[in-house]
């Protein structure tokens, strides 16, 4: 079950009372409400036009209440982005059972990414805003290497390599290439206004990753080409392209 943003302009179920609650649980709940409302407002208006007075009005509190939790708009925005990353990680854990076959878990991870961003388009806007207004900030919250789900992905890939199901290669390479496919698909869906089936898109990605594009004959042509290209570009380099034909290309 995905946590939904409160619709813009619609009152929350339990209006925030003025002041800062003494009860830690209530303080946490209030912070959560502020972050949810901020995510919707930042996504709707962008970073610069967002006015914390308007946010306070939507929440039904004074602006001072917002500032008591987040001293500046930048603090609020960055906390909002971090909150969404945490929410995504929780969603991922709920969608990908750890007792499922490893090869199935990989497909479910990709599906979880695509489904989350499709159901939460505001988060895509936050990614664009962070890149636009905080382009020199490193690392960004949305850097793939800093995604909390990366450790689980790397563990899956390592296990598949150990089982001999996947060819041995650097984990960073797998993470980067697959991450580019996932985020490229996600951004294409969003920018084109395309409502795609996350499960079908995940299966298409995995089909190309596992099966590849080339037949066995095509793979041999590619290997020969890469051998020639590598020798021309790096005549003194002993590195060679993959010499073994993937199992999916042998027949």
Answer whether residue 204 shows pLDDT above 90: yes
Confidence of residue 219 (pLDDT cuts 50, 70, 90): confident
Cβ neighbours around 110 below 10 Å, total: 26
Looking at residues 71-76, what average pLDDT do you find? Answer: 96
What are the b/e assignments for 193-219, b being 16+ CB within 10 Å? eeeeebeebbeebbeebeeeebeeeeb
With contact defined as beta carbons under 8 Å apart, do 41 and 58 qualify?
A: yes
Peptide bond into 139 cis (omega under 30): yes
- pTM of this prediction? 0.75
Greater model confidence, 25 or 234: 25
Greater model confidence, 75 or 137: 75
Write out pLDDT tens, residues 27-48.
Answer: 999 999 999 999 999 999 999 9
First to last CA, the chain: 43
CA distances from 146 to 70, 149, 151 (A): 24, 8, 9
Residue of 83, 93, 1, 3 whose CA lies nearest to 42: 83
* Percent of the chain residues topping a pLDDT of 70: 80
Answer whether residue 67 shows pLDDT above 90: yes
Looking at residues 99-104, what average pLDDT do you find? Answer: 91
Q: What is the pLDDT of residue 122?
A: 93
Write out pLDDT tens, residues 105-138.
Answer: 999 999 999 999 999 999 999 999 988 888 777 6
What mean pLDDT is reported for the chain? Answer: 83
Element holding 89 (H helix, E strand): helix 73-95
Residue of 117, 127, 121, 119 whose CA lies nearest to 47: 127
171 CB-near residues (< 8 Å, 6+ apart): 154, 157, 158
What are the b/e assignments for 24-41, b being 16+ CB within 10 Å? eeeeeebeebbbbbbbbb
Answer whether residue 1 shows pLDDT above 70: no
Q: What is the pLDDT of residue 11?
A: 41
Cβ neighbours around 133 below 10 Å, total: 13
Q: What is the pLDDT of residue 111?
A: 94
Length, in residues, of the chain? 251
Q: What is the pLDDT of residue 143?
A: 62
> What are the structural domains of the chain?
81-211 (1.10.357.10)
Answer whether residue 70 shows pLDDT above 90: yes
């Amino acid at each position: 079950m995905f946590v939904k943003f409160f619709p813009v302009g619609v009152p929350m179920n339990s209006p925030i009372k003025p002041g800062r609650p003494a009860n830690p649980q209530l303080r946490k709940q209030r912070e959560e409400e502020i972050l949810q409302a901020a995510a919707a407002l930042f996504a709707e208006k962008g970073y610069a036009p967002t006015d914390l007075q308007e946010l306070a009005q939507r929440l039904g509190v004074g602006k001072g209440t917002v500032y008591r939790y987040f001293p500046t708009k930048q603090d609020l925005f960055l906390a909002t982005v971090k909150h969404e990353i945490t929410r995504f990680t929780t969603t991922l854990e709920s969608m990908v059972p750890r007792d499922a076959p490893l090869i199935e878990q990989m497909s479910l991870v990709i599906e979880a990414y695509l489904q989350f961003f499709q159901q939460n388009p505001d988060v895509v806007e936050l990614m664009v805003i962070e890149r636009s207004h905080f382009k020199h900030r490193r690392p960004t919250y949305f850097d793939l290497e800093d995604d909390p789900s990366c450790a689980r992905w790397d563990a899956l890939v390592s296990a598949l390599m150990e089982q001999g199901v996947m060819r041995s290669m650097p984990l960073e390479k797998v993470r980067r290439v697959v991450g580019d496919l996932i985020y490229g698909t996600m951004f294409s869906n969003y920018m084109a206004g395309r409502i795609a089936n996350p499960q079908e898109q995940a299966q298409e990605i995995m089909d190309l990753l596992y099966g590849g594009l080339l037949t066995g004959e095509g793979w041999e042509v590619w290997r020969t080409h890469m051998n020639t290209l590598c020798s021309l570009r790096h005549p003194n380099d002993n590195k060679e392209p993959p010499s073994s034909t993937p199992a999916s290309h042998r027949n």
